Each structure stands twice: as structure tokens, then as C-alpha cells.
Amino acid sequence: MSINSENTASQKLPLQGVGGRPLRIIISGGGTGGHIFPAVSIANALKKLDPDTEILFVGANGRMEMEKVPAAGYKIIGLDISGIQRKAIWKNVMFPVKLLRSVRKALQIIKDFKPDAAVGVGGFASGPLLYAASLKGIPTLIQEQNSYAGITNKWLGAKAKKICVAFDGMEKFFPFEKIIKTGNPIRKESVNIAGKHMQALELYKLSSFKKTILITGGSLGARTLNNSIMAGLDKIIAADVQVIWQTGKFYYQSVLQQLGPDKHPDICVVEFLNRMDLAYAAADVVISRAGAGTIAELCVIKKPVILVPSPNVAEDHQTKNALALVEEQAAIFVADRDAEARLVDKALELLNDNDLQKTLSNNIGKLALPDADEVIAKEVIQITNNN
């Protein structure tokens, strides 16, 4: 279940839409950076293939894509749609009304924009937009980032022309003949770490004679990771290792207050990692959540990693993402509920086990698919053939 690159390369990609005009592509989805970044990457790859391609984003009003997509240089239209609330059922009273209104608006968007294809990357807006596109005979492509497909994508998969995935075994959720393993788009600048180790140590004021652990919980941070590092801080200091600790904006001040004015010099605390490439380059071991986009980057940098999946995501897909790597002996898994008691011990054990580090690095590197954005963009163009 992998892309037939020879066939794709030999087929002439259509770079014109109806009547010889430039291709028009709608990309829908968002809600989190894990959805927005792949969407923008696919758009950029489409523009690289043909700068005249016209791209319109469709997102959900009030979600972060309404800010991030325009910042990336693309137009976006918002739908008044939100997800189903599993913990507060009463909040779903208006969901059918919002869904119907969103489908109607999506139909109008399609009528006005006249797309040659529609792409769904996950998130609230993908469902109404791709459903409306299928009603109008517009070919659709789904980019499923996780190893466990969400409800919306499983439903939309029946009508999609292509389903681009990042993990094996996705025929459990989608028709086998539609699946193509492309991987997830990555931030190329974030994984370009070659030759940057000393530069990274200088940036974070770290020693070249000590081993380094990188802890990253994403831009917002991860309470479990922060609590776990705080609980094991004495062990880290006693082991004479150093830490780049990205707390996230919600927890940064709290962590600084707990550390106090006498913070140990080997503990580098940052709110956000503006140079992800240098953080990766400095690390001997990485501790991370298990979002699909993060995993795609970790595969490319080939560093030994401990994954602590967030339990607060739909269908617990981060746990399934992490276990997919564990099955390939490409990562170590620590459950969120066990992290405070076990995470630091696991990290120190890994730092002292060179053979295990080498095994993990080799195996995770075998899973890397660094050109996913370009491959997906070519598939988007290809499905316009029969439109």
C-alpha cells in the first residue's frame, strides 16, 4: 500500500482547469496546528507545481485557521460549525442546525469558486465542505494524518477519489484501492539539523560534554510533561544531564515560579521553540506528545524518542500513533497516567543505553517520508483528470 512513484512521474499532470483556466483547489479543515500546517504545506506545494493555481481555504469560524491561513498568504472562508461534544451532550442541541447551515454555505462556496478538486485535512470544516463537493461531483481527496481515522474521514472516504495516509493498516478504515501512503507534510526548516549541534548548544547555553534531553509539549504545552519533569528534576540534576524544556505558553510562568531564582544552569526553560531545528540538533533524547505532525518530524531527524500520548484527543488517536511506532521498535511508550512516576527514569535509562538509542534511531528513520507535501499535491492534481 505505497505510492507507485514511477506511474505518478510518468503521467502528465493536468495543470489547467475547465476552459483552460488555472486550476482551482479548495482545501478544508483546521482546528489545530496539526491540521493547519499540512493544509498550508499542500497549498504551497500546489503553488510550486504551478504558481497560477488558485487556492481557497474553508475553515471553522472561531478556530485558529481563521488567523493562521491568512498569515500564510491564502484566502479563507469560515463555516459556523463545531464538533460533537462527547462530555456535555446537551451542548449538541444546535449541532444539526449548524451542520445543515454549513453544508448550504459550502454548496454556495463551491458554486461561486467552481473548484476542480477539494481536499480535506481533518477538522470541523472538512465534513460539510467535502460532502457538498461530492454532491456536486467535485473530486475529493482526504489527507488522514493519524493511524486511527476519525469518524468524519471514515464517512467521507466512501466518496473520495484518493485517501492519503501516513501509517500502514489503514484499510481497516478506508477502501484499499483508494489508499496511498504519502506520509504527513513536515516543516522542512525544522528538520534540517545537519551540522547544527554546536550552534544549538550555543543558543541554549549548554555544555558539549553533557547529554541533552529535549522536552516538547507543543506550543500550548502539556501539563503532564511539565509535572513529570518537575517531579524528576532532582534525578536529572543528579545524573549530570541537561534539559531543553519547552513548557508551552500556558505553563511557562508557573514552571519558572516553581524553579525559583536559583534555577540550575543545566535546565534551559523556554516558552516556545522558535528554532525547532536547533532544539532537535541539540537533543540526544526527545520526549514528546504523539501528534501525527510531530511524529513525521521525529522520523526525519532520527533521534531516539519517548512518546507520552495525550489522552485528551478524539478516538485517543495519539496513543494509536505512538503504538504504531512501538510496534516497529521505533519509539518508547509511556502512558500519560504513568508519566509522573516513570518518565524521567525512562529517559535517564535511555540516555545510558547506547545500543537502544541506536536501534530506536535506525528504526524511526526507516519510517520517514520527507516529501509528503509534494506527493499529495501531485495526487490532488491527478484527481482532476476526470472532472
| pLDDT tens for each residue of 130-141 | 999 999 999 999
| pLDDT tens for each residue of 254-286 | 999 999 888 899 999 999 999 999 999 999 999
Q: Are 338 and 303 in contact (CB under 8 A)?
A: no
Q: Is 264 left (phi over 0), alpha (psi -120 to 50) or beta?
A: beta
Q: Say whether pLDDT at 1 is over 70.
A: no
| Cα–Cα distance for residue pair 294/376, rounded to 1 Å | 18
Q: Is 223 annotated as a binding residue?
A: no
Sketch out the chain's domains with CATH numbers.
5-186+370-382 (3.40.50.2000), 189-365 (3.40.50.2000)
Q: Are 23 and 387 in contact (CB under 8 A)?
A: no
* Runs of H (alpha helix) within 136-211: 151-156, 188-191, 197-203
The Cβ-side half-sphere exposure at 176, using a 13 Å CA radius, reads: 3
| pLDDT tens for each residue of 105-116 | 999 999 999 999
Q: In what order do the strands lie in the sheet with 140-144?
A: 75-79, 54-60, 24-28, 117-120, 140-144, 162-165, 179-181
What residue has cell string 541537561? 242
* Dihedral sign, Cα of residue 236, residue 237, residue 240, residue 241: positive
Task: Using alpha carbons, select from 150, 116, 151 the residue that is nearest to residue 133.
Answer: 116
Quote the cell numbers at residue 365.
528513520
Long-range contacts at 96-105 (CB < 8 A, ≥ 24 apart):
99/127, 99/128, 102/128, 103/128, 103/131, 103/132, 105/79, 105/80
Q: Is 86 annotated as a binding residue?
A: no
* pLDDT top residue among 124 and 231: 231
Kindly calculate the radius of gyration of the chain based on its CA atoms and give it in whole angstroms: 22
Reported confidence tier of residue 180, pLDDT bands at 50, 70, 90 = very high
| pLDDT tens for each residue of 50-76 | 999 999 999 999 888 999 999 999 999
* DSSP state string for 14-74: P-B-GGGPBPEEEEE--SSHHHHHHHHHHHHHHHHH-TT-EEEEEEETTSTHHHHHHHTT-
| Cα–Cα distance for residue pair 163/120, rounded to 1 Å | 10
Q: Is 146 annotated as a binding residue?
A: yes
Chain centre distance of CA 114: 29
pLDDT value of residue 91: 59
pLDDT value of residue 220: 75
Q: Is 199 annotated as a binding residue?
A: no
| Cα–Cα distance for residue pair 58/157, rounded to 1 Å | 19
Q: Is 59 annotated as a binding residue?
A: no
Q: Are 361 and 304 in contact (CB under 8 A)?
A: yes
pLDDT value of residue 95: 60
Q: Are 241 and 266 in contact (CB under 8 A)?
A: yes
Quote the cell numbers at residue 313.
484527543
| pLDDT tens for each residue of 192-201 | 999 999 999 9
Q: Is 32 annotated as a binding residue?
A: yes
The Cβ-side half-sphere exposure at 237, using a 13 Å CA radius, reads: 13
Q: Is 195 annotated as a binding residue?
A: no
Give the pLDDT mean for 341-367.
Answer: 98
pLDDT value of residue 197: 96
pLDDT over 90, % of the chain: 75
Q: Say whether pLDDT at 93 is over 80.
A: no
| Cα–Cα distance for residue pair 263/257, rounded to 1 Å | 10
| Cα–Cα distance for residue pair 385/17, rounded to 1 Å | 9
| Cα–Cα distance for residue pair 81/75, rounded to 1 Å | 18
